[in-house]
Amino acid sequence: MSAEITVVANGQARAVAPGTRVREVLDGKVGRDVVAARVDGKLVDLSRPLTHDATVEPVAADSPEGLDIIRHSTAHLMAQAVQSLFPGTQVTIGPTIEDGFFYDFAPPQPFTVEDLPKIEQKMRELAKADLRVERSEVPREEAIATFGRMGEHYKVEILKGIPEESVSIYRQGDWMDLCRGPHVPSTRYIRAFKLTGVAGAYWRGDERNAMLSRIYGTAFATKEALEEHLRMVELARQRDHRRLGREMGLFLFDPIAPGQPFYLPKGMVIFNELVDYVRRLYRRYGFDEVITPQIYRNELWHTSGHWDNFRENMFLAPDPEAATAAIDTTPEGWRQGYGVKPMNCPGHTYVYRAEKRSYRDLPLRIAEFSRLHRAERSGVLHGLTRVRVMSQDDAHIFCTEAQIEDEVAMNLAMVRDVYTTLGFERIEFKLATMPEQHLGTTEQWRMSEEKLGNALRRNQVSFEINPGEGAFYGPKIEIYVPDALKRKWQVATIQLDYNLPERFDLHFTSSAGTEDRPVMIHRAILGSLERFIGVLIEHTGGVLPFWLAPEQVRVLSLSEKVEAYAAEVAALLKGLGLRASADLRNEKLGFKVREAELAKVPYMAVVGEREAAARQIALRLLRGEKSQVIALDEFLERLKREPLPA
């Protein structure tokens, strides 16, 4: 037996004594920028002793894993601060979440936001004290006894549910918590954090249990990163599409129809302009538009597989001519009643089947903007980005196996066209591959994945593989756009489907005279128009491109004396087909300008007596420029040149 073990760290192998700590083999590289390590791929504390041959890699503070460790360590720091400030408070759990963490406490009094500065102050003191964070393993029974003595009943309950005989405990100063870890080596590693809110939460998410008091917070590797994050959060608050939608008069929501927007005339302009834009692209790319029924006999959903896999998300209705008005939601219930469509795909197979198809008809590209209804849980509804009704720029392409690559490549070109036009600087592509549960052979899957990969390469886009994330019936390309607030949205998808053509028994006559199955490609570019409009409003802060602006020009009169001229200017603008109005109210100019700015009108034409006499306007732009007096004719010419996409 060798007295030494071989450790590969930073790419170099060396022999060390067993028991050497991880931090020692990472050499001088361990400052506060390294918070933990991976030993043979497993995340561990820097103080963990090495017992066998292993590969050791540092975990940087600003890496996703590093941030997770920092955030959970900050949750511990917060719990320590809370328990020292509020005796009698019990701890429960404190996981990390996207961009932060929370900890649920059982305090004598629920916490309020007023408590947060005091807790933060205590956390700063504890961080400065540089308390070592130490891990120890204890028998589970011993841990139960210890936490029981401390009056930590929730921890005892958690421990009783753990099957392992031994558990790990993390201590810092006089505070300890049951935890898997890993953690930062000492509290001084926690440099940049902020507590962001409080909320009530039931123990284990169950409303029959006690109400706990939750504190939310966030932490980053550096102060700069934290400040940048908080700036983005504030910007997101200001740009919240629900708020801008109200201010700009675009849409409204009412509890009478949860998750379903009422588009107001101005919101309808955005909706229609986007549809018109996509329609122009359809003409160029060879798509034909259809409208298929909204409500189908459930037999359709049985054939498509939606009845078995999606009916909880569907709005069902009884058959108006049946003796019973009851809705049968059991697996056999598809034999009666109706379902409102959550997707267009099954309906499109009827358009395909309407004629006997030959290879000459393919590819057949069918598009539809119909309203789709999905019974999303009320708890997840969120403005336009999570709704119960939507329109998609949905299309299905029926094609031969040999046409897949060209069709996908063409749709990828369209994706780039659309997102560049709409002002998104980056587009990210992922290829989602064969999941564990799948139809067809591995060989078929590899072939179709290869085709999607080739189509991506032909468009010279780099892409990541999203392993195992394809649908059970085929691989797909997922398309993401990062917005101005550094959030990433999945918008478009291009998805191969071998299953629906099978289920609906679709076929075509091949050039050799045989009956073959077509492949179906589901694809949407904007995705849900509702969601896309929500994203676009937040991305642009409501300052939309001219062609999408609900109101493009507003004429602002300075006094009653120029009313006629202001009205004439507005009429001329409307004559050009522009969306223009005149604000002739007897209000101060500053007030009128502010209102136009709030409505995000890109051009404001101010007219006073001097402008009226000289047939001029004073032009103000929404985006900052100083106002400038120009001839009315010149203004009209300039607006005529405003570009329309595609």
| Residues that are catalytic | 345, 374, 392, 394, 396, 476, 522
> Contact at 8 Å (CB) between 504 and 303?
yes
- Measured from the CB atom, the residue of 493 and 540 that comes closer to Zn ion is 493
> Contact at 8 Å (CB) between 206 and 217?
no
Report, in Å, the least distance between residue 250 CB and Zn ion.
28
Q: Determine if 341 is a binding residue for Zn ion (CB under 5 A).
A: no
- Measured from the CB atom, the residue of 184 and 427 that comes closer to Zn ion is 184
Q: How far apart are CA 551 and CA 566, in angstroms?
A: 16
Report, in Å, the least distance between residue 522 CB and Zn ion.
3
CA distances 245 to 253, 261, 431, 600, Å, are 10, 11, 34, 11
- Measured from the CB atom, the residue of 531 and 592 that comes closer to Zn ion is 531
Q: How far apart are CA 20 and CA 274, in angstroms?
A: 63
By DSSP bridging, strand 476-482 and strand 428-432 are antiparallel
Where helices occur in 248-403 by DSSP H, the ranges are 265-285, 298-304, 306-309, 345-353
x/- binding map, residues 247-266, to Zn ion, per CB under 5 A?
A: --------------------
- Among positions 521-580, residues that touch Zn ion (CB under 5 A) are 522
- Measured from the CB atom, the residue of 74 and 298 that comes closer to Zn ion is 74
Helix axes 529-540, 223-239, angle to 10 degrees: 120
Report, in Å, the least distance between residue 91 CB and Zn ion.
9
Report, in Å, the least distance between residue 430 CB and Zn ion.
19
Report, in Å, the least distance between residue 471 CB and Zn ion.
10
User: Interacting stretch for Zn ion, rule CB under 5 A, among 32-40, 343-351, 473-481, 614-622?
Assistant: 343-351
* Ramachandran assignment for 138, one of left (phi > 0), alpha (psi -120 to 50 degrees), beta (any other): beta
Choosing from 345, 399, 526, 596, the residue that interacts with Zn ion (CB under 5 A) is: 345
x/- binding map, residues 150-179, to Zn ion, per CB under 5 A?
A: -----------------------------x
Report, in Å, the least distance between residue 180 CB and Zn ion.
7
Q: What count of other Cβ atoms lies within 10 Å of the Cβ of residue 335? A: 10
Q: Point out the residue whose Cβ comes nearest to Zn ion.
A: 179
- Measured from the CB atom, the residue of 316 and 345 that comes closer to Zn ion is 345
Q: What are phi and psi of 601, to 5 degrees?
A: -80, 120
Q: How far apart are CA 366 and CA 345, in angstroms?
A: 10
Binding residues for Zn ion, total number by CB under 5 A: 3
Q: What is the DSSP letter of 642?
A: -
Report, in Å, the least distance between residue 291 CB and Zn ion.
15
Straight-line distance from the first to the last Cα atom of the chain, in angstroms, rounded to the nearest whole number: 74
Q: How far apart are CA 433 and CA 416, in angstroms?
A: 22
Q: What are phi and psi of 523, to 5 degrees?
A: -155, 140
Q: How far apart are CA 383 and CA 380, in angstroms?
A: 10
- Among positions 176-205, residues that touch Zn ion (CB under 5 A) are 179
The two tokens of residue 625 are: 């420029």
Q: How far apart are CA 311 and CA 296, in angstroms?
A: 13
- Among positions 471-530, residues that touch Zn ion (CB under 5 A) are 522
- Among positions 73-102, residues that touch Zn ion (CB under 5 A) are none
- Measured from the CB atom, the residue of 179 and 409 that comes closer to Zn ion is 179
Report, in Å, the least distance between residue 394 CB and Zn ion.
6
User: Interacting stretch for Zn ion, rule CB under 5 A, among 240-248, 308-316, 338-346, 414-422?
Assistant: 338-346
- Measured from the CB atom, the residue of 92 and 616 that comes closer to Zn ion is 92
- Measured from the CB atom, the residue of 96 and 213 that comes closer to Zn ion is 96
Q: How far apart are CA 307 and CA 300, in angstroms?
A: 9
> Contact at 8 Å (CB) between 205 and 151?
no
Which residues lie near Zn ion (CB under 5 A)? 179, 345, 522
